[in-house]
Structure 1
Amino acid sequence: MMIQFPDDANGDMLQALTEAGLDLSQTMTLDFYLIFKRQEKAERAEQALISKYPKESVSLYCNPANQWEIKITIDMIPSYEAINLLEKELDEFARKFAGHNDGWGVMEPEPVD
């Protein structure tokens, strides 16, 4: 039986992962992205994120669009509700530093030979 997800960006992404054969009941490593126009705001946000999520990987870089981007990597079970809640929390956090949430993604697992 195929799980039906809401018709939005998160639902579409989860649907694609399911169709690719990934088991969404298992913990996965997800990358969440926050975008900032100003480097100093991004650097302050990065330090605050490291304090808020000390066990997670947080990295800051300048993306090809010349915006400052923070990637926070979180291991979690990718439920629709949990992702929406975390994205809302990250967006509210980023807005304190004049930034915004810019979605999430998952690295495809390496094929096993």
Structure 2
Amino acid sequence: MDFPTDDNGQILAEMHQEGVDLTKTHTLDFFILFEKVGDADKFAKVISEDDLAPNTKQQKCPDTGVFEVLVSVEMVPDHQLITDLENYLESVANPLNGYGDGWGILAE
């Protein structure tokens, strides 16, 4: 399997090498960070109302004090779809002073 030579491609290649079946649906977790809880709250409300990404969890990192919104999406891990979703989430987060901090899946 060939993967693009960017961060998402590298993650997918590593997952493939570890034996993750990239042809089936997984829960992908996207991490969006905010300095202020109010901004995180606004983002979580907007995203949780979106049919594309209705599952969110919010927490404060005990080490950094940054507020993290975890957006979980059920999907087949596809490079273009992941990149598009990251871009979409950031387009909502950026005006609220938030930024993407990557994605991953739980090991099965």
Structure 1 stretch displaced more, 50-59 or 11-20:
50-59
Q: Deviations over 1:35-87 (max 9, x none)?
A: 11111111111111111148732011111211110001111010101000000
User: 2: distance between equivalents of 1:39 and 1:103?
Assistant: 20
Deviation at 1:107, TM superposition (A): 0.0
For structure 2, the residue ranges without an aligned partner over 5 or more in a row are: none
For each residue in 1:83-112, what CA deviation from the matched residue of structure 2 results, as whole angstroms up to 9, or x when unmatched?
000000011110121101111010001xxx
**Corresponding residue number in structure 2 for 1:6:** 4
- Which residue is 2:76 aligned to? 77
Alignment of 1:53-64 (within 5 A): 53=51, 56-63=54-61, 64=63
Number of residue-to-residue matches in the alignment: 107
Matching residue's letter, 2:41: E
Counterpart of 2:29, as a letter, is D
Between the aligned partners of 1:53 and 1:36, the Cα distance in structure 2 is: 22
Q: Which runs of 4+ in 1 moved over 3 A?
A: 53-56
Inter-partner Cα distance in structure 2 for 1:46 and 1:27 = 23
Match of 2:34 in 1: 36
| CA RMSD, 1 decimal | 1.4
- Call closer, same or farther: CA 1:85–1:54 in 2, change over 3 Å: closer
Aligned partner of 2:85 in structure 1 is 86
Question: TM-score, normalised on structure 1?
Answer: 0.89
CA distance in 2, matches of 1:29, 1:35: 19
Give TM-score, length-normalised by structure 2.
0.92
Q: Which runs of 5 or more residues in structure 1 are unaligned?
A: none
Identity of aligned residues (%): 27
Matched residues in 1 for 2:103 and 2:53: separation? Answer: 18
Q: Are the aligned partners of 2:29 and 2:105 in contact in 1 as well (CA < 8 Å)?
A: yes
